[in-house]
Every structure is written in C-alpha cells, then in structure tokens.
C-alpha cells in the first residue's frame, strides 16, 4: 500500500476569505502536473477536487486524477473512480429503512464478535421527516392541525424509532415533521455551496469523535500531520441522498444526486461511491421566458427535450447566456427534475445569483465570502464571459420559445401544450377505458352536481419542485385573488390542497395577503410535506370515489409535482397532469381537463359574464413586485433558527439512546430485517442461476412505483391481509411508504401496484402472475416458488426502474427470491440498488428482447458462469421452452464497476461493508 502523502500530487494550498485562512486542494496545482483542465465542465471540476482531496495512492491514484484531464480529449473515458460525498440527505420513507438496516447491522456486528459502535455515520447525515403527512382534511382552516394530529397518531412508532436513531447514532440529525420537504430545507438551509471542516486537538476529542476523525483523516490526506493544531479545510459541498430529487440542490452549485438507501448507508459508513467517470451533456440556454410563462413551463420543456436526447447515467450541465436570466429558484426547479429527464444530475455553476440566494436565505456572510473566494480560486466561478466548457454532447433552448404547458397523463416527460390538454386526454386514453371520449355526467350520491370523464377531482399545490420557487407560488396566489374578485371558486368535486415545502412560504404568502385569497377558493394549508406528489393525497370523498368506480370513469388530477406515474397520485385517478401552481388553481376553478383552457371560459363571474384564463392570469411585473416586497432574509433566519427542535408533539417524544435497538415483538412498522441471518465472515460462493422461472414479464418504463408502491394498501392484497391478520384495522393501514421499516409488509407489496401489467397474465391489471398455470398475487407465487427451491427472474423492457430512488424496489425483489433482472435498459439508481441487494442486472443485446424471444412465461432460464463475472462482460443465458427446445442469447452484465462486483459477490453492499468493518 502506498503511504498516505507519498507519490501523490501534493496540491494543498491556502486561500483567504472573510478575514480567515483556509487550506484547500488546488486544481491549478494539479493542472501543472497533469495538464490544463480549464475546459472541464464545472461539475467535473467538483469530481476532480474530490479525487485530489482523497488521493492516497491506493483508493485514489494519480492515474485516476489524470483520467479526468484526459476526459477532455474525447469528452468520455471508461474509468472507474471512488467518489466520497461530504454528507448524506434522507427523508423518512427511505430514512426509516436505512436506520432499520443500521440497527440490524449493529446486532449483526455483535454476533460477529465486533464493536457495534463501528456502525456509525462517519459523515454528516440529515433526515427530514416530510413524506408521512396525508391530505385527509382539506378546504378548511383546521386542515393543517387535523392532518398533523393524524400524522402523529399513525406514525408515532416510526417517529420514536427515528428519535432513537438521533440519540444512538453519531453525526445523525433529524428535522421533525411539519418543517418542510427535505430538498427545500436542503436548498434553503442545510446546503453551504462550499463546506469547511476543522481538525481539532486530539486531547479535546471523545472516543467516538476520535474514531470518526481518524477514519476521516485516513480518507482526507493532510500534508501537515501535526494533530495538535486546528486546520480548516475548504471543499465543495457535495452529497448523496436517499431521494431521487436530491438533485434539486445542483441549482445552488452543489453536486448531489439520489442513491438507494443501501448505497447511502455504505457512504455513511465510509465506503466510497464507486462510479464510472460520467459523460456530460451541455444544455445551452439562451433568451429569457416570455410574459406569463413560468419556471414550470420551462422545466417541462427541458424534461421532454432531455428524455428524448437520452441522458441516463450522464451528468447534464446548464450553460449559456440564458443563465443570467434565471433566478436561483428557477435553476433549482430545473435541477430538481433530473430524475424525470433521466440524468444523474442537472448542474448549475456557482455565480453571483448563487451568492444573492445564499444571502436572501440567511446564510452567514462568512459562508458567502468563502463560497465566492473558493469558487474563483478553483475555476468554478461562472460569469457571462466564461468560455464554454467542452461537453460530450450538447443541445440548446431559446427560452423565449417556451409555451404554457402541462405534462401527462402518465409520464412527466410527456409535455402537452396547454391548448392541447383536452385533445391529449381524449386521444391517449381512448379505447383504454369505456366511453372515455364522451363526457356524460353521472350522479354523485347526496350532491346536486354530477361527475364525468376528465373531471379534475384533485388539484394540489405540492412538491419541492415548485413550492421552492416564490415566483410560481405568488402567481398562484394572484390567480386566486383575481378569481375571488370575479366571484369564482373551485368546483365542488375538486379536492384542493396547499402543501408548501417550507414554512417560509406561509410567511411570505401571509405578508403579501395572498393566504386569505387562496383559502377563499379552497387552497388551505394542509401540511408541510410531499403529500399528493408522493401519493399521500388522502381519500376522495366517499360519494365521489363511488361515482368514479361505479361508472368506470377516468378522473383527473392536476398537481404541481414532479411525478404522475400510474397508480401514484390516487387509486381513484387514472389521468394525472403536472402543472405550475397558478395552473393548478385555474384547473380547480374550471373543474375539467376536457375543455380548452385557453379559449373556453373557466366559469361565470358574479356579474354573469364569462371569465377566461387571461382575465385572472397575473403579469410578470405583478409577480415580481409582490416577491420583492414580501420575500425577506429575516423570514428564513427566523424559521430555520430552531429547525431541529420541532413542535410540542415532537419534543414530547421521550426515548433513550442505546448501542442497539430493542425491537418490539409483533410491530408492523419497524422489524429486524433478515438480510444478515446466518451471515459469516466469508461470503458463500456464487453459483450459476439454473432453471429460473420468470416471476413477471413487464413492458417499457416500469417505474419504482410499479415495483414498490408508496401509496395506499388494498385490504385484499397480500400486504393488507398481513396487516389484518396482525390486528391492524383497515383505517390504520397507513401507506406502503410509511411501512418501509417492516420487511414483511414491503415484500408483500413488491410488484403490487394496481396499474402494473404482467404479460404472463394478459388482460389482468395489478400485481398478479401465475404459478404452474394458476393465477395468483405475485407474492403468493414467489413464496410457492421459494418452497420449491426454484430461483426466479424478472424480464422487462426499456427504462426499467425509472423514477424514485427507493431501495425497497430492490429489497423487495431480492426477498421474493428474484436472482436476476433481464431488461432492455435500466435507470441508473435502480440498477445500482439491484447490485447492492445481490440481484444480477443483465441487459439484452441490441435487437433481442422479450418480444423477439416470444416469451410466454412458462420458460426456464439458466445464466452461465456467474462466479466468473466481470463488470460489463457478455453473459450467456439459455432459455428452455415448455416443449423442451432451447435457445441461447447474449446479455450484458450491468455490474458496472469492480467495487459493485465485490458487493454482488458478498450478497450485497451491506454485507460487504459489515464484513469489512468486523474484520477491522
């Protein structure tokens, strides 16, 4: 092993900022030895700095660093690097199972004879509770209080568990419920753009601190090894998060992306993120948005363009003169939806807009000064005169060409011009359901109004994507004000809600007088959290739900979220459209997507005259005036001053910290998972997968919502039956997302989405398959195959695993006994999650797929030479048909790096890390 600090580039330098001196790892010093790197994209410079800082001659070598300089030659290079983010961000749906895994690892460490305290985050971890609040109560002044009460009632055991984690684990903080959405809290408060950390005297450190710092120093090479003196080192703020929309913070110049919980746990425990040096697609922005066009319209256009371009596994970096016309909030909106356009991240460099936003949101002047000085010293500062970097590929958009848009009815990349929403609704769903192109109204029990195809039954201002942006929230409030002045209100069948991503939103809406206007038409505050965007839309009124289902109606939702996948928003809603907050308000007033929003009236005013969208749409000047007058620095400073304290309910939760968690027998929320049962210090040998049967054969764009739904649990599903058997009433089912701490519920919910279509059982919608010709739920069939000792595989089309970063899509897959997934292509995060859970991802060769192979579902598959796998090698698969005939086809192993291969051979990344820590 190369000694730390020897045979390295020795790039440490110093800089002055705000009257202080900082050490940093100089890109200019590196360039003197490896060649000019000034043409690198800004995002790649962040990776370069990371390698310089952690260069040790072993895990990070001079050759790794030189590869980034060589990348400039062809803007691509096939080399694996070890990347170490500065911190980890979590939310509660993904965070609870992470803490469950850490607690289980502590138990397993004890059984292996090791020290349970080694299972401890070595980098800062923030968990924001934002995914649990549901929209039960709406349209009343009491909605927020009622929903919070129900949230605590349903989730108290989960919250007690998380509070235990905050006491038992080092470097682990919890932002309590009712504060905001993790990405908005990250953007407005947690992120620093440039981070700094100080070494402390060894005499002043606790044993736990010393272990943490010793581990950190082993990774963070110092030229000056004198541990008695404090040395403050500056470096870019970077992170990974257990939510795919972690990318939002790239709008602030902070490089971050979503990973599965299992990969995040490994990063917490000191394991680097193993990755291939990415390709970087440059997206040039010119011009500026026209009058009346919102940042939402822009991001839906960008999403459509990039998804068509194909950027899965790539970085996207935005550049060009148009950046000067984009506020930081607009940039964050675009960065947020990187998972929707398929990229690892959508990066915006640091510039004067970054500093202005940091100042507005209450960051200390010392941090702002350091950000500016560091970015300029490292060549990471953008100005209008900065030369364009070199990119793997480019595309461009004149922002003046962006038109008012929605996206839907099933995918966020399917942008629809506002004038064509009614046409798209009719055309895309015609033939899928009965009578979708006509709109007769059906009676609603106990109501004077009826309901028809295309009626908007949910209109939700929701999600960090848009509620982080004051321009669209103020615009929504102005639409409400103008509609109220004309005597309009929401249609009676529309469930309306306002769920901001931070409490600051309430402050500036209140100060601007817009809260009263929003309340008047039904957009009362329902909570601070993801709500409808994550599927927590809550139940529709029973008569509405009954009318929809009794008449097989295609009801619609319009939400200012980022996801509209099938079965996600509500089990009663089949057509879901993403829209800007002001358009959400407009659709609540109109009540249907079946009429042209631009050229037909929204309704009649109190004077009996028709009111059109143009009559209530605010001007850019009106929006800007209210923003300038009412969004202030002191709001952010006040709201975030005690962000970790929580409300009275949170502060009243009393738990004790302990090395290990006392699992509650019979708990249906938090249970010790089986991943480490029978695990020894040496992994079992990996063998070929012989005569595996397909559990499911699936089409294109299968999302992680299809694989592991987050929303409601049906009583007649395997998960629902399990809960009923454990004396959980139907009213207390909560959601799959809230139950992610219990593997018994979650494995029963795997592939249980109500809209998933398994081609093994044609004509049937929902999580069904067949076992020896008998149709049954996928979970039941998987358990029968397991009893038979039969390995399972899943076959799929393109873009398998698109959507959320949820690790349960991979955890549930492996717990059902699936050994491999063969797909035409994989989305980045889910592919990584499969490897992390010991499931082999294989990609069909070009021209081969489930259709060309004419699969029926009664075949068996043998995957050869698994023990001899190498990253990205060809793998032969032999299928045997029912008549005994055989056919061999070639796949590509999508274990992409050597580190990932180690994880796979160990049965998963957690097993690998646990064995490594136990051996140490």
Show Cβ contacts of residue 321 under 8 Å, excluding neighbours closer than 6 positions: 285, 286, 384
Instruction: Give the up-direction half-sphere exposure of residue 820: CA atoms within 13 A in the CB hemisphere.
Output: 31
Domains 87-401 and 405-640 share a fold: yes
**Cβ–Cβ under 8 Å, residues 577 and 409:** yes
**Strands 80-83, 273-276: parallel, antiparallel or unpaired by DSSP?**
antiparallel
CA distances to 698, 824, 830 from 844, rounded to whole Å, are 14, 5, 17
CA 851 to chain centre: 31
CA 28 to chain centre: 35
Q: Which two tokens stand for residue 379?
A: 């060549």
Just give the CATH number of 689-708+750-919: 3.20.19.10
| Cis upstream peptide for 409 (omega within 30°) | yes
Q: Which two tokens stand for residue 312?
A: 């899965």
**In whole angstroms, what is the distance from residue 677 CA to residue 108 CA?**
8
Question: Which residues of the chain register pLDDT less than 50?
Answer: 1-6, 199-228
**In whole angstroms, what is the distance from residue 335 CA to residue 314 CA?**
14
3-state secondary structure of 692: strand
**In whole angstroms, what is the distance from residue 277 CA to residue 392 CA?**
12
Looking only at Cα atoms, what is the longest distance across the chain? 83
Closest CA to 410 of 595, 223, 612, 564: 564
CATH topology of domain 405-640: Aconitase; domain 3 (3.30.499)
**In whole angstroms, what is the distance from residue 708 CA to residue 808 CA?**
6
Sign (positive or negative) of CA dihedral 507, 508, 513, 516? negative
Q: What is the pLDDT of residue 567?
A: 84
**In whole angstroms, what is the distance from residue 338 CA to residue 344 CA?**
7
Q: What is the pLDDT of residue 428?
A: 75
Q: Which two tokens stand for residue 911?
A: 């097993």
Instruction: Give the up-direction half-sphere exposure of residue 23: CA atoms within 13 A in the CB hemisphere.
Output: 17
Q: What is the pLDDT of residue 433?
A: 58
Helices (H), 82-168: 92-111, 143-168
**In whole angstroms, what is the distance from residue 466 CA to residue 562 CA?**
9
Length of the chain: 920
Q: Which two tokens stand for residue 186?
A: 């990250």
Q: What value does the CA radius of gyration of the chain take, rounded to a whole number of Å? A: 27
Closest CA to 533 of 412, 640, 404: 412
Domain limits, the chain? 12-76, 87-401, 405-640, 689-708+750-919
**Cβ–Cβ under 8 Å, residues 236 and 255:** yes
Closest CA to 663 of 292, 129, 255, 161: 161
CATH topology of domain 87-401: Aconitase; domain 3 (3.30.499)
**Strands 774-777, 768-771: parallel, antiparallel or unpaired by DSSP?**
antiparallel
Task: Write phi, then psi, for 793 (nearest 5 degrees).
Answer: -135, 165
How buried is 632 (Cβ within 10 angstroms: 0-12 exposed, 13-18 middle, 19+ buried)?
middle
**In whole angstroms, what is the distance from residue 385 CA to residue 449 CA?**
60
């Amino acid at each position: 092993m190369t000694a730390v600090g020897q045979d390295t580039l020795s790039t440490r330098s110093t800089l002055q900022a705000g009257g202080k001196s900082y050490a940093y790892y100089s890109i200019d010093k590196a360039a003197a030895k490896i060649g000019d790197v000034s043409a690198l994209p800004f995002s790649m410079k962040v990776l370069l700095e990371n390698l310089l800082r952690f260069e040790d001659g072993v895990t990070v070598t001079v050759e790794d660093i030189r590869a980034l300089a060589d990348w400039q030659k062809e803007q691509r290079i096939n080399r694996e690097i070890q990347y170490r983010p500065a911190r980890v961000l979590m939310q509660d749906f993904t965070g609870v199972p992470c803490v469950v895994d850490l607690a289980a690892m502590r138990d397993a460490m004890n059984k292996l004879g090791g020290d349970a305290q080694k299972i401890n985050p070595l980098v800062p971890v923030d968990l924001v509770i934002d995914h649990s609040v549901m929209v039960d109560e709406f349209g009343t002044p009491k909605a927020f209080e009622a929903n919070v009460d129900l949230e605590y009632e349903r989730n108290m055991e989960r919250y007690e568990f998380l509070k235990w984690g905050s006491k038992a684990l080092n470097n682990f903080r919890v932002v309590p419920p009712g504060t905001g959405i993790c990405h908005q809290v990250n953007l407005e408060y947690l992120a620093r753009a440039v981070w700094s950390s100080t070494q402390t005297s060894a005499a002043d450190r606790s044993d736990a601190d010393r272990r943490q710092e010793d581990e950190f120093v082993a990774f963070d090479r110092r030229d000056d090894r004198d541990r008695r003196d404090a040395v403050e080192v500056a470096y870019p703020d970077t992170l990974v998060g257990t939510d795919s929309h972690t990318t939002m913070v790239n709008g602030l110049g902070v490089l971050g992306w979503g990973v599965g919980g299992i990969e995040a746990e490994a990063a917490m425990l000191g394991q680097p993120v193993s990755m291939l040096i990415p390709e970087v697609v440059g997206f040039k922005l010119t011009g500026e948005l026209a009058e009346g066009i919102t940042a939402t319209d822009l991001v839906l256009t960008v999403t459509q363009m990039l998804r068509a371009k194909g950027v899965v596994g790539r970085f996207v970096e935005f550049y060009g003169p148009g950046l000067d016309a984009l506020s930081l909030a607009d940039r964050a909106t675009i960065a947020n939806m990187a998972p929707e356009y398929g990229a690892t991240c959508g990066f915006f460099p640091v510039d004067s807009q970054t500093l202005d936003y940091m100042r507005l949101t209450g960051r200390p002047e010392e941090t702002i000064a350091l950000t500016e000085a560091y970015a300029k010293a490292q060549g990471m500062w953008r100005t209008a005169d900065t030369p364009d970097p070199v990119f793997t590929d480019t595309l461009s958009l004149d922002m003046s060409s962006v038109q008012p848009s929605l996206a839907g009815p099933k995918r966020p990349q399917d942008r629809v011009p506002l004038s064509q929403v009614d046409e798209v609704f009719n055309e895309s769903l015609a033939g899928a359901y009965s009578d979708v192109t006509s709109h007769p109204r059906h009676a609603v029990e106990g109501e004077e109004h009826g309901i028809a195809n295309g009626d908007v039954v949910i209109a939700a201002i929701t999600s960090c994507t848009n509620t982080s942006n004051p321009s669209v929230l103020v615009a929504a409030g102005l639409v409400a004000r103008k509609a109220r002045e004309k005597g309009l209100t929401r249609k009676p069948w529309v469930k309306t809600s306002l769920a901001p991503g931070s409490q600051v939103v309430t402050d500036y809406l209140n100060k601007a007088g817009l809260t009263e206007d929003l309340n008047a038409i039904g957009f009362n505050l329902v909570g601070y959290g993801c709500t409808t965007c994550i599927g927590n839309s809550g139940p529709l009124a029973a008569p509405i739900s009954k009318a929809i289902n009794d008449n097989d109606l295609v009801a619609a939702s319009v939400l200012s979220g980022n996801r509209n996948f099938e079965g996600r928003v509500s089990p009663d809603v089949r057509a879901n459209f993403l829209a800007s907050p002001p358009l959400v308000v407009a659709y609540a007033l109109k009540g249907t997507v079946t009429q042209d929003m631009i050229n037909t009236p929204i309704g009649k005013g109190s004077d009996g005259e028709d009111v059109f969208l143009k009559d209530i749409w605010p001007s850019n000047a009106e929006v800007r005036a209210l923003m300038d007058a009412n969004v202030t620095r002191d709001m952010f400073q006040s709201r975030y001053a005690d962000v970790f304290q929580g409300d009275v309910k949170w502060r009243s939760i009393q738990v004790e910290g302990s090395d290990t968690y006392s699992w509650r027998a019979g708990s249906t929320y938090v249970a010790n998972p089986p991943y480490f049962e029978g695990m020894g210090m040496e992994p079992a040998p990996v063998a070929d997968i012989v005569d595996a049967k397909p559990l499911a054969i699936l089409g294109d764009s299968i999302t992680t919502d299809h694989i592991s739904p987050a929303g409601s649990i049906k009583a007649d599903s395997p998960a629902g039956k399990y809960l009923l058997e454990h004396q959980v009433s139907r009213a207390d089912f909560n959601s799959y997302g809230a139950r992610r701490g219990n593997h018994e519920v979650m494995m029963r919910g795997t592939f249980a989405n109500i809209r998933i279509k398994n081609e093994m059982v044609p004509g049937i919608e929902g999580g069904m398959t067949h076992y020896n010709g008998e149709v049954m739920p996928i979970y039941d069939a998987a358990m029968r195959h397991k009893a038979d000792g039969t390995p399972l595989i899943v076959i799929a089309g393109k873009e398998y695993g698109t959507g959320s970063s949820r690790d349960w899509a991979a955890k549930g897959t492996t717990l059902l006994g699936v050994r491999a997934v063969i797909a035409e292509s994989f989305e980045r995060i889910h592919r990584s999650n499969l490897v992390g859970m010991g499931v082999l991802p294989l990609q069909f060769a070009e021209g081969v797929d489930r259709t060309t192979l004419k699969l029926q579902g009664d075949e068996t598959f043998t995957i050869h030479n698994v023990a001899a796998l190498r990253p990205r090698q060809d793998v032969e698969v032999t299928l045997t048909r029912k008549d005994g005939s055989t056919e061999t086809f070639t796949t590509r192993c999508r274990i992409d790096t050597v580190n990932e291969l180690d994880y796979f051979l160990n049965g998963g990344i957690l097993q690998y890390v646990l064995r490594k820590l136990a051996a140490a």
